[in-house]
Amino acid sequence: MRRNVRLISYAIFTSVIFLLGSSLLYGLELAELSGEIVFSSNRSGSWRIWMIQADGSNLRQLTDGKEDENDVDPAFRKDGKEILFTSTRGESVGIWKMSINGTNMERICDGDQAEWSPDGNKIAFRREESIFTRDLISNVEKKISPDDWPHCSGPAWSPNGKTIAFACRWDEENALFTVNADGGQPVKVYDKKGACEPHWSPDAKLLVYETETHICTIQPDGQKNRLITYWGGIQRYGQWSRDGNHLVYCQGVSENGPWELYIVPSGGGTAVRLTEGDSDMNPDWH
């Protein structure tokens, strides 16, 4: 009898959870979120790399430098132990890496907009508006965007390491593409509304990207295009949480900012502000 009561109670409990589950998913409390978000900010003057817990606590500055040096575009290595970033330190714009506490800075090469391969042994990056990969052990580089493609940007490595998504601008329109990580003929994903800045979901089923005004998701085959943010102002730089349930992005009053970080459920829903004051951009979430 006790077993039956337990079974029925379990059935009712699981059913209620089943019914409410989706609505819980779309409600959002910062306190329930975990992980760390790294971003660039001008809150201390020049652009520096900062970090904050996803629940909004423990805001701290990771990089410092001379007044005329700026650090932007941070990206976590998959194990969360190192961060890539772009810096104007030294003579030319270059890709740097450091430990997550801001120590052990090391310049890797010229370029910007770098992202780690899933195994952390390579990076994909932009140089002179072309997309390259670089093996961090052998230092061998490979150009993976076609020679005659102008204005390529924002490479993003797929979770299985086999494909790279990026954007390319032709005349007036941006488009999203995927290409084999070893190079080859890129395949168009989507070419409307200035689509750029793609990033893969952890399960590789979706790409998040930005239009001229909003954050959207789309399947890598170009299907199921979906608007995730539709607020006033401008939304940019969408990035996934580790579990793929949320997105962090920048919200600006206009194209010129100022920018604040917000978090929104990755299926859409109510957005919650994570940071405010000055401008915060280029978030990445580990």
Partner 1 sequence: MKHVKLLYFLFFTFIFLIRFSPIVQAQDINQRIQETGAPFTYVLDTNSISTNPISTQTLNKKNGWTLLAEDDTAHPFKGDVVFLNDKIAVIVRQKSHGVEIYSLIDGQSARRATLFAQTSSPETLSSLEILENNPGAVEIKANYKIISIGLRLTTGERSLEILPSVETDRLRIESLCEYVIVPDFFSDDMVFSADAFDRDSIRLPTAKFFLQAIHGGDCMMMGVWESDEQNTRLILSGSGAARKIEATEIECKEGRKIWLALMENANLWHCANKQTIPPSIGENWSPPFSANWRMNVLQNGGMAKSFPFSEPSLQEQAQASCLIYPIDRDRATPLTTICPIDIMRNTLGVGPCQYILAAEGLGSDANPTTEQVTEWVERQFERKRETRYKDQIIVQFTAMTNLLTETEKRIERYQVLTNELSASCQNEARAHPQMASAVPPLLAILANIDNAILSKRDARKSPQYAVQLSDQIVSLIGKEDGLSVCQKLGDQLRAIGLAQDSTLSKCRMMARWFLQNCWMIAERTPEVSATMEKVITHAENLLKSKP
Applying CB under 8 A, the residues found at the interface with partner 1 are: 3-4, 7-8, 11-12, 15, 18-20, 22-23, 25-27, 46, 67-68, 88, 172, 193-194, 212-214, 224-234, 251, 253-255, 258, 262, 265, 267-269, 271
CB-nearer residue toward partner 1: 26 or 81: 26
- Report the distance separating Cα 275 and Cα 203, nearest Å: 27
Other CB atoms closer than 10 Å to residue 189's CB: what's the count? Answer: 23
- Residue 3: CB minimum distance to partner 1, A: 8
Q: Who contacts 119 (Cβ-Cβ below 8 Å, separation ≥6)?
A: 78, 161
Compute the half-sphere exposure of residue 241: CA atoms within 13 Å on the CB side of its CA: 20
What distance in Å separates the CA atoms of residue 84 and residue 100, rounded to the nearest whole number? Answer: 10
Which of 118/268 has CB closer to partner 1? 268
Q: Secondary structure of the chain: what % helix, strand, coil (to 5)?
A: 10, 45, 45
Select from 254, 247, 256, 252 the least CA-distant residue to 276. Answer: 252
Nearer to partner 1, 77 or 126 (CB): 126
**Residue with Cβ nearer partner 1 (41 or 133):** 41
* 147 alpha carbon, distance to own chain's centre: 26
CB of 152 to partner 1, least distance (A): 16
For residue 233, the minimal CB distance to partner 1 (Å) is 6
Nearer to partner 1, 51 or 271 (CB): 271
Residue whose entry in the numeric block shows the structure tokens 């330190």: 89
C-beta of residue 79 within 8 angstroms of C-beta of residue 65: no
Report CA Rg, the chain.
20
Closest separation between CB of residue 67 and partner 1, Å? 5
Residue 116's nearest CA partner among 133, 100, 138 is 133
In the complex, least distance from residue 237 CB atom to partner 1, rounded to whole angstroms:
16
The two structure tokens encoding residue 261:
């970080």
Nearest CA to 83 among 40, 139, 142? 40
Minimum CB distance to partner 1, residue 61 (Å):
17
With respect to partner 1, which residue has the nearer C-beta, 147 or 277? 277
**Considering beta carbons, is residue 147 or 172 the nearer one to partner 1?**
172
